[in-house]
């Protein structure tokens, strides 16, 4: 007897130990399979403007994770009622529900009811694949039991409601609420919550977008179950069933005008903040961007408009970039007329800049060196450089000499090359390096933008900022601030200004580039309310007479800096631009006209400590020139010269003695009054005299008066 009792006790102990071991294995197995990183769900990131208005969502799965506190209790109850009525009573597995489901399946002769709890569904959706392995259900149970041990019921329900799929690309209760009803989950009514609870069972079947009557039947069933379980009264159930399903469909549609900007945000997130594309699409970031939404839309629409492109080249490509002059924030960007996500962003494609490069490679370095001023004279002639290069003006006309100011205004090629040759390529390259360009080119073709690799619209916009902002540059950006899913700021723009030019050089360049738009090559296109300074550029295509490969306009207002480029990705003898810089110039001006009124400035502000450019001095002919001799005065004989003064009081005068053999000797210079007197001792050696107007700014003489022999006039 004692032996039997001992045996029974041993068996019992063995069973207890076995049960304990089995329980431990269950707990450990489930615990081992819970990877908490998987519970951090893919969460849509969002782009917002500086006012906090949502621009677009970025996601792999359209999901906005919200806390359970933002889900109304009646919405929670709808899901519990239909999916897991004993959710708050079981520990992850509802054996009663499993038995009931099994009984009904046997009666029906087929599977008609599931027994999975909300916790099991969460375990299956998050941790398990759809593979029908024999251990899959076992794993689901193990994980569900351990989830219940690790998390509260509210935490499990929160994860479930944020994870579950609602159809039409919406994941989670918040995205579903916005999709079906255009409201946050916190605003859902009882009947709307019942609709969403009905959808999750079979989204494609119960979606109110697919079949409203079927969706209503499902909703009414859930309302009945909620009544049976005491969540709502019979009167409430009847009232809610009487409502029609009023959806307000808000499916996420992609705005093609934003494609370039979105890609630039993603590139910058990776390059500057080490956030990969996948992480950005799943990490729930909030990204503040400096975009001007109206201008972004306007630039997109303009590129679709063939009227902005030359006849014969209506299919040409184009790109645009505009940034805030003060901050460097990019307010609009388009990478092409048919840009697709992650496509070729022509804002970053190198092209030959043509004459838009002259201010950077020639004129700014020349002014910065101090040896040249805006009205310094440059040679405007056909000159040969090297063995066979003779740069030509597009007009085919040559003045012999012209001021640096005029050379910019009319975009003459010959003076630009002459000036670069005079000051030296190394000086140009040193200044270009300050602008951020590291180029392999070492020839005089730098003057005309003839580069072996080219430059990008992004780089040109960035460099012209030095002219607009007192000689300082900043790095452009599209991410002003970036916050993680916990709303913690993890990065953002902090533009560092780098001085690359003196304020005086920058202001002088602005004045000359302003004139180029008012009176020169940039004068075409629509009138603008805002003042503009800028430069045109056209790169010809040598293979076809009259053809061009690239056309540019780079310019700025007091508030905005931008670049427009036109051309083909591949220029060939059959595919080339039939027009030049007039087209991007007109497009640039049209975009400036879309800026809000507060960004339409009528004049640039002169920086403190700079000298403004006076209008160029117009040299005139000397009139009413008279020369007389007088007895006495400062010597035995005196010469008196008089002439009519000019209205422009800046003009000075030089006086020359002219001998019979034609030799000239300067006897007076920089006279500010229209008269001159000189005492002479020898009355038998009397030369002729000339008066020459002199421009002290450009340091050039005008046309000399006729040589005049003095006549006698006696005075005592």
Kindly report the CA angle at 66 between 64 and 70, in degrees rounded to 5?
135
Q: Are strands 54-58 and 286-288 parallel, antiparallel or unpaired?
A: unpaired
627/708 Cα distance (integer angstroms): 7
Catalytic residue among 44, 45, 83, 705: 83
Catalytic residue among 207, 352, 355, 630: 355
CA dihedral 622, 626, 632, 638 (to 10 degrees): 40
In 3D space, the residue among 207, 185, 195, 202 whose CA is nearest the CA of residue 79 turns out to be 195
204/166 Cα distance (integer angstroms): 9
Cβ atoms 558, 552 nearer than 8 A: no
Q: Are strands 481-483 and 286-288 parallel, antiparallel or unpaired?
A: antiparallel
Residue-level length of the chain: 716
Q: Is 83 tagged catalytic?
A: yes
**Helix or strand or coil: residue 379?**
strand
DSSP 696: T
DSSP 389: B
Residues with Cβ within 8 Å of residue 332, at least 6 apart in sequence: 261, 291, 292, 295, 296, 298, 299, 320, 321, 322, 591
CA dist list (Å): 188 to 74, 173, 378: 9, 10, 75
101/113 Cα distance (integer angstroms): 5
DSSP 347: G
511/614 Cα distance (integer angstroms): 10
716/703 Cα distance (integer angstroms): 36
H-assigned helices in 34-71? 36-39
Cβ atoms 289, 47 nearer than 8 A: yes
CA dihedral 538, 540, 546, 551 (to 10 degrees): -30
Per the DSSP assignment, residues forming a β-bridge with 551 are 538, 566
Cβ atoms 318, 339 nearer than 8 A: no
> Which positions are annotated as active-site residues?
83, 355
């Amino acid at each position: 007897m004692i032996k039997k009792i001992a045996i029974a006790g041993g068996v019992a102990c063995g069973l207890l130990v076995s049960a304990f071991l089995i329980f431990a294995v269950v707990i450990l197995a489930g615990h081992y399979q819970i990877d908490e990183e998987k519970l951090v769900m893919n969460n849509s990131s969002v782009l917002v403007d500086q006012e906090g208005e949502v621009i677009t969502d970025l996601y792999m799965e359209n999901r906005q994770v919200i806390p359970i506190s933002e889900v109304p209790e009646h919405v929670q109850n709808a899901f519990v009622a239909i999916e897991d009525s004993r959710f708050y009573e079981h520990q992850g597995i509802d054996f009663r529900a499993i038995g009931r489901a099994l009984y009904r399946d046997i009666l029906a002769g087929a599977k008609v009811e599931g027994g999975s709890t909300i916790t099991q569904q969460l375990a299956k959706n998050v941790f398990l694949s759809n593979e029908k392995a024999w251990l899959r259900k076992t794993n689901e149970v193990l994980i569900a039991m351990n989830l219940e041990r690790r998390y509260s019921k509210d935490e499990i329900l929160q994860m479930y409601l944020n994870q579950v799929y609602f159809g039409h690309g919406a994941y989670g209760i918040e995205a579903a609420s916005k999709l079906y009803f255009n409201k946050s989950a916190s605003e859902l009514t009882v009947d709307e919550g019942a609709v969403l609870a009905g959808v999750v069972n079979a989204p494609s079947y119960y979606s109110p977008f697919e079949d409203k009557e079927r969706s209503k039947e499902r909703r009414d069933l859930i309302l009945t179950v909620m009544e049976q379980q005491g969540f709502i009264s019979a009167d409430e159930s009847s009232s809610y069933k009487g409502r029609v399903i009023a959806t307000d469909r808000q499916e996420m549609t992609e705005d093609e005008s934003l494609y370039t900007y979105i890609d630039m945000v993603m590139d910058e997130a990776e390059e500057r903040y080490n956030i990969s594309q996948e992480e950005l699409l799943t990490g729930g970031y909030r990204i503040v961007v400096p975009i001007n939404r109206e201008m972004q839309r306007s630039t997109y629409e303009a590129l679709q408009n063939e009227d902005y492109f030359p006849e014969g080249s209506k299919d040409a490509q184009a790109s645009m970039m505009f940034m805030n002059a003060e901050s460097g924030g990019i307010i609009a960007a388009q990478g092409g007329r048919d840009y697709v996500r992650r496509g070729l962003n022509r804002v970053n494609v190198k092209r030959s800049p043509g004459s838009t490069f002259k201010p950077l490679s020639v004129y700014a370095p020349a002014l910065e060196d101090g040896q040249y001023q805006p009205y310094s004279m440059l040679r405007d002639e056909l000159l040969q450089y090297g063995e066979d290069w003779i740069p030509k003006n597009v007009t085919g006309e040559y003045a012999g000499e012209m001021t640096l100011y005029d050379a910019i205004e009319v975009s003459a090629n010959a003076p630009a090359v002459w000036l670069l040759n005079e000051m030296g390529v190394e000086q140009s390259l040193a200044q270009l390096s300050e602008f951020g360009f590291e180029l392999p080119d070492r020839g005089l073709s730098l003057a005309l933008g003839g580069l072996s690799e080219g430059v990008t619209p992004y780089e040109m916009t960035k460099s012209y900022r030095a002219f607009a902002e007192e000689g300082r540059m900043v790095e452009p950006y599209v991410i002003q601030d970036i916050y993680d899913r916990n709303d913690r700021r993890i990065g953002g723009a902090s533009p560092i200004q780098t001085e690359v030019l003196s304020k005086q050089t920058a202001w002088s360049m602005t004045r000359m580039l302003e004139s180029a738009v008012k009176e020169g090559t940039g004068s075409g296109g629509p009138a603008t309310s805002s003042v503009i300074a800028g430069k045109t550029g056209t790169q010809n295509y040598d293979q076809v007479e009259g053809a061009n490969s690239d056309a540019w306009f780079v310019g700025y207002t007091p508030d905005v800096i931008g670049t427009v480029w036109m051309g083909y990705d591949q220029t060939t003898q059959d595919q080339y631009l039939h027009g030049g810089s007039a087209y991007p110039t007109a497009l640039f001006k049209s975009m400036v006209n879309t800026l809000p009124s507060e960004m339409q400035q009528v004049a640039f502000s002169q920086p403190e400590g700079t000298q403004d450019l006076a209008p160029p001095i117009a040299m005139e002919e000397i009139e009413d020139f008279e020369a007389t001799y007088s007895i006495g005065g400062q010597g035995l004989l005196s010469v008196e010269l008089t002439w009519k003064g000019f209205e422009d009081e800046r003009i000075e005068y030089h006086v020359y003695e002219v001998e019979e053999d034609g030799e000239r000797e300067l006897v007076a210079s920089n006279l500010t009054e229209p008269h001159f007197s000189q005492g002479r001792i020898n009355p038998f050696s009397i030369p002729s005299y000339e008066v020459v107007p002199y421009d002290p700014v450009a340091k050039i003489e005008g046309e000399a008066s006729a040589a005049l022999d003095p006549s006698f006039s006696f005075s005592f």
